[in-house]
Amino acid sequence: MKKITLLGATGSIGIQTLEVIRQYPQLFSVHAFAFGKNVKKAIPLIREFQPKILVVQDMETKHELQQHYAVRTEILVGAAGMVEVSIDPETDVLVNAVMGSVGLDATIQAIEKKKQIAIANKETLVTAGHLVMALAQQHQVQLLPVDSEHSAIFQCLQGEKQQQVERIILTASGGSFRDTPREALENVTVEDALKHPNWNMGAKITIDSASMMNKGLEVIEAHWLFNIPYDKIDVILHKESIIHSMVEFQDRSIIAQLGNADMRIPIQYALTYPNRMPLQESDPVNFIELGKMHFQEMSFERFPCLEMAYQAGKEGGTMPAVLNAANEQAVALFLQKKISFLAIEKVILEMLNTHQSIQHPDLETIQAVDQETRLKAIQFVTR
């Protein structure tokens, strides 16, 4: 029985992780879970999964749980609370599905305690990939990818030799505005941006998908997870989201992983790895119904966020942390309807252009740059 600590339990990945856990009570139990402030969503999950420890974002939420819902479970608060449950001796597996770089400390400290980690929280790898991967190597911890593309690549690489990989091909759906010309992006709304054509995901990643920053973050994530240079990572548009990514080898063979757009597949694979288990209430890919699959060249002119991510990744140092923090802040402002969709990329560009990169940053430096960038981004839009 694996005891799981789940960060981001009330989110899109969190809920689907709990669905997988629910199907296999003989294999998994929930030791602890963390969420932000969404008490209404959390209460039925607390009652069903009965974690031994809870973590919430702030004291107000803790009091709400205790006073309005009579929750008697131990409740910790904030990023420190997430670290505490992640390194708890009773935690066997950490599923990090929290949104944003707030998940970084927990990932780092869990690696130091040699916990098995299923990682959905891509911002962690973008912000501090060099630290996370060096620690993982030092402590012999394997990070099991949950992100669908990275799970696909991980599956394609099973039994293969890293040095025989020619390139990685990440697929991108194109997001909510894939059929919208760039000129028309000026007036798109939050509601439009939240309509992803293939995946039902949290708000932040859905916006990232529409701006193509999601793919940019995934390029950096792939660089770190698979130790592959940026010039060997390609992105192509594939609107069906059936091929989740591919690996080309030196002999020109390409191995791809296919499946319906169902995040339970990579989540379950990360939890049961190296085994595969039946996935409840799922349909096989119906190739006849699908008929065709489409592929289109990616354009940096149409999707400048992707180019910014490649550049920040290649430059390294604190640039990816700036990219990520600027994006997190800009997307939050867009979701609050304080800036337009196209202002997201303007904020990120400005933050990157005005940052003096620091090479080989330690954790403290990264966290300071993250905070500074968020403040600077707010000042930039309110100037």
Ligand X SMILES: CC(=O)[C@@H](O)[C@H](O)COP(=O)(O)O
Please provide the DSSP assignment of 95-121 as one string: EE--SSGGGHHHHHHHHHTT-EEEE--
Structure-token pair, residue 70: 């009579």
| Cβ-contact 219, 310 below 8 angstroms | yes
Instruction: For residue 254, say whether it is annotated as part of any ligand binding site.
Output: no
Does 221 interact with ligand X (rule: CB under 6 A)? no
Burial class (CB in 10 A: 0-12, 13-18, 19+), 80: exposed
Q: For the chain, first and last CA: distance in Å?
A: 54
- CB closer to ligand NDP, 14 vs 129: 14
Residues that contact ligand X, how many (by CB under 6 A): 12
Instruction: For residue 113, say whether it is annotated as part of any ligand binding site.
Output: no
Does 16 interact with ligand X (rule: CB under 6 A)? no
Closest residue to ligand NDP using C-beta atoms: 11
The string over 307-325, giving b where at least 16 C-beta atoms fall within 10 Å of a residue's C-beta and e elsewhere, is bbbbebbebbbbbbbbbbb
Hey, which residues between 38 and 97 contact ligand X (CB under 6 A)? none
- d(CA 299, CA 128) in angstroms, rounded, equals 27
E strand spans, the chain: 2-7, 28-34, 53-56, 74-77, 93-96, 116-119, 143-145, 165-172, 233-237, 243-249, 254-258, 296-297
- CB closer to ligand X, 51 vs 175: 175
Instruction: For residue 187, say whether it is annotated as part of any ligand binding site.
Output: no
- CB closer to ligand X, 92 vs 262: 262
Hey, which residues between 133 and 152 contact Mn ion (CB under 5 A)? 147-149
Does 172 interact with ligand X (rule: CB under 6 A)? yes
Backbone angles phi, psi at 328, to 5 degrees: -55, -45
- CB closer to ligand X, 263 vs 325: 263
Q: Choosing among Mn ion, ligand NDP, ligand X, none, which partner's interface includes residue 209 (Cβ < 5 to 8 Å by kind)? A: ligand X
Q: Candidates 31, 62, 122, 223: give the one binding ligand NDP (CB under 6 A).
A: 122
- Picking from 245, 258, 232, the residue whose alpha carbon sits closest to that of residue 164 is 232
Residues in the chain: 383
- Picking from 4, 107, 27, the residue whose alpha carbon sits closest to that of residue 272 is 27
Does 370 interact with ligand NDP (rule: CB under 6 A)? no
Does 205 interact with ligand NDP (rule: CB under 6 A)? yes
Q: Choosing among ligand NDP, ligand X, Mn ion, none, which partner's interface includes residue 345 (Cβ < 5 to 8 Å by kind)? A: none
Q: Candidates 16, 107, 121, 148: give the one binding ligand X (CB under 6 A).
A: 148
E strand spans, 101-176: 116-119, 143-145, 165-172
Q: Candidates 94, 125, 132, 263: give the one binding ligand NDP (CB under 6 A).
A: 263
Hey, which residues between 190 and 219 contact ligand X (CB under 6 A)? 199, 205, 209, 214-215
Indicate the annotated binding residues: 10-13, 36-38, 121-123, 147-149, 173, 196, 202, 209, 214-215, 218
Residues of this chain that bind Mn ion (CB under 5 A)? 147-149
Residues of this chain that bind ligand X (CB under 6 A)? 147-149, 172-173, 175, 199, 205, 209, 214-215, 263
Residues of this chain that bind ligand NDP (CB under 6 A)? 8-14, 34-38, 41, 57, 97-99, 102, 120-123, 147, 199, 201-205, 263
